[in-house]
């Protein structure tokens, strides 16, 4: 190969190397340019992003400042406090109930049982006839805190003497007393027969044809009794004199139930407006008999329908008028009770009929338990226990108070009479006695 060919080849190889180098340099330059361009764009983008963020932050700050300024321009409003629950004031009735419960809760059992009895002052003092109240009466009431005392004509000498005796007696009592009397008007008038005032009999008042006269009689009697110190009158008579020779002739407002009811309710209203408790008697109505429970056993042959349509209708009227007490008689009423036992011993009569069916929620008291209808056939303790079990709240004049009291006390202690049964009676008794005291 000649020298010129070799030289030509060498020149060709040099050219190829230069082209390759140029290409490499070009690619490298392109890469550097691309990298630089990307880096520059990234820096620019980053700077733009930061600028935008700064602007956004500034805008947000301005928005926050604007919101704060707006809040400051709005008057502040204090939150409305939750209303305090209003507890209603207790009613007078609720205060009375609470007061009665409080008093009963403090009483020992012995005093509770004694509180079921109304007796003569002679029964606890032991004297022949009480005409004054001194240390003997004080001691007697401390030892025998009975529920009440009943007085008769023999205890009355003068208005001044009676007022002083009753005032002292009430002052000596451990608990408020029922101070009672039989003052019907007419022939049954312990006060009217001695110191006045005199009031016509129920029969005479009914003969006027005007029930307002019975109201005036109640006001007259009630005012006189209250002024002397009495707070219970065993009146009015609600019996119907609806049999020939009725035992209640003269003492009753007549034989017609609708007519008699008006006189009975008027008498109740007149008495109780003077703060003297009225006592309807003699449930379920003994005017259909000619016999007297003072003298022995008495029974009525009235049918159940007759009792409800006539006798009981009069008592219902008196109950509806608000009479504080009802006196249950010793008469048997087989048509109502299914038994020949005296009414005071019948739970059917006392509890089922009088308390539940007729809705009487006042004090149920027995007729005097020293009457022969009771004392001839039952011991004082036995009779007292039976009357309480039947539903009677108060026991009037047992033949032997000490024996009757001990019998009831022992019956409660041994569980034959539930103490709550005694408490129920005391609630009814003290609702009357404490009325007005819890104000």
Q: Which residues are catalytic?
A: 294, 367
* Residues β-bridged to residue 180: 150, 232
Alpha-helix runs per DSSP H in 107-233: 109-114, 121-125, 135-143, 159-172, 202-207, 212-228
Residues 128, 310: Cα–Cα separation, whole Å: 42
Residues 410, 166: Cα–Cα separation, whole Å: 31
Residue 228's contacts (CB-CB under 8 Å, 6 or more residues apart) are 159, 162, 163, 166, 191
Q: Which two tokens stand for residue 408?
A: 């009831």
3-class DSSP state of 52: helix
**Contact status, residue 342 vs residue 331, Cβ threshold 8 Å:** yes
Smallest CA-to-CA distance from 100 within 364, 434, 436 is with 434
How many Cα atoms sit within 13 Å of 228 on the Cβ side? 29
Residues 256, 250: Cα–Cα separation, whole Å: 14
Residues 37, 414: Cα–Cα separation, whole Å: 116
**Contact status, residue 352 vs residue 317, Cβ threshold 8 Å:** no
The H or E element spanning position 149 is strand 148-151
Residues listed for the chain: 439
Residues 175, 149: Cα–Cα separation, whole Å: 12
Residues 351, 330: Cα–Cα separation, whole Å: 15
Residues 339, 336: Cα–Cα separation, whole Å: 8
> Where do we find the tokens 């009811």?
261
Residue 343's contacts (CB-CB under 8 Å, 6 or more residues apart) are 283, 284, 328, 329, 330, 331, 332, 333, 337, 349, 350
């Amino acid at each position: 190969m000649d020298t010129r060919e070799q030289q030509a080849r060498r020149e060709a190889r040099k050219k190829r190397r230069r082209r390759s180098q140029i290409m490499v340099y070009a690619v490298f330059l392109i890469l550097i340019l691309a990298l630089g361009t990307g880096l520059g764009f990234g820096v620019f983008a980053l700077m733009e992003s930061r600028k935008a963020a700064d602007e956004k932050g500034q805008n947000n700050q301005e928005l926050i400042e604007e919101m704060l300024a707006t809040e400051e321009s709005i008057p502040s409003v204090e939150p409305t406090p939750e209303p305090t629950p209003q507890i209603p004031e207790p009613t007078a009735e609720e205060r009375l109930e609470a007061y009665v419960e409080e008093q009963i809760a403090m009483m020992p059992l012995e005093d509770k049982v004694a509180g079921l009895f109304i007796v003569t002052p002679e029964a606890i003092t032991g004297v022949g006839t009480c005409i004054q109240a001194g240390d003997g009466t004080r001691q007697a009431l401390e030892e025998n805190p009975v529920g009440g005392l009943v007085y008769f004509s023999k205890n009355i000498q003068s208005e001044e003497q009676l007022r002083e005796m009753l005032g002292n007696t009430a002052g000596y009592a451990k608990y408020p007393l029922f101070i009672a009397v039989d003052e019907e008007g007419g022939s049954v008038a312990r006060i009217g027969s001695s110191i006045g005032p005199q009031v016509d009999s129920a029969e005479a008042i009914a003969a006027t044809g005007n029930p307002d006269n019975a109201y005036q009689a109640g006001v007259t009697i009630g005012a006189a009794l209250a002024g002397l110190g009495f707070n219970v009158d065993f009146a009015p008579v609600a019996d119907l004199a609806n049999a020939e020779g009725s035992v209640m002739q003269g003492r009753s407002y007549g034989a017609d139930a609708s007519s008699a009811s008006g006189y009975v309710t008027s008498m109740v209203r007149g008495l109780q407006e003077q703060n003297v408790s009225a006592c309807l008697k003699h449930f379920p109505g003994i005017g259909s008999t000619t016999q007297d429970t003072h003298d022995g056993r008495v029974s009525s042959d009235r049918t159940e329908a007759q009792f409800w349509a006539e006798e009981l209708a009069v008592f219902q009227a008196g109950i509806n008028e608000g009479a504080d007490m009802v006196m249950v008689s010793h008469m048997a009423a087989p048509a109502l009770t299914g038994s020949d036992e005296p009414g005071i011993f019948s739970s059917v009569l006392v509890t089922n009929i009088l308390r539940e069916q007729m809705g009487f929620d006042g004090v149920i008291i027995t007729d005097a338990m020293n009457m022969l209808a009771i004392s001839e056939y039952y011991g004082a303790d036995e009779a007292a226990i039976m009357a309480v079990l039947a539903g009677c709240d108060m026991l009037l004049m047992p033949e032997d108070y000490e024996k009757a009291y001990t019998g009831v006390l022992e019956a409660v202690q041994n569980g034959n009479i539930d103490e709550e049964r005694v408490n129920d009676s005391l609630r009814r008794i003290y609702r009357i006695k404490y009325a007005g005291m819890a104000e």
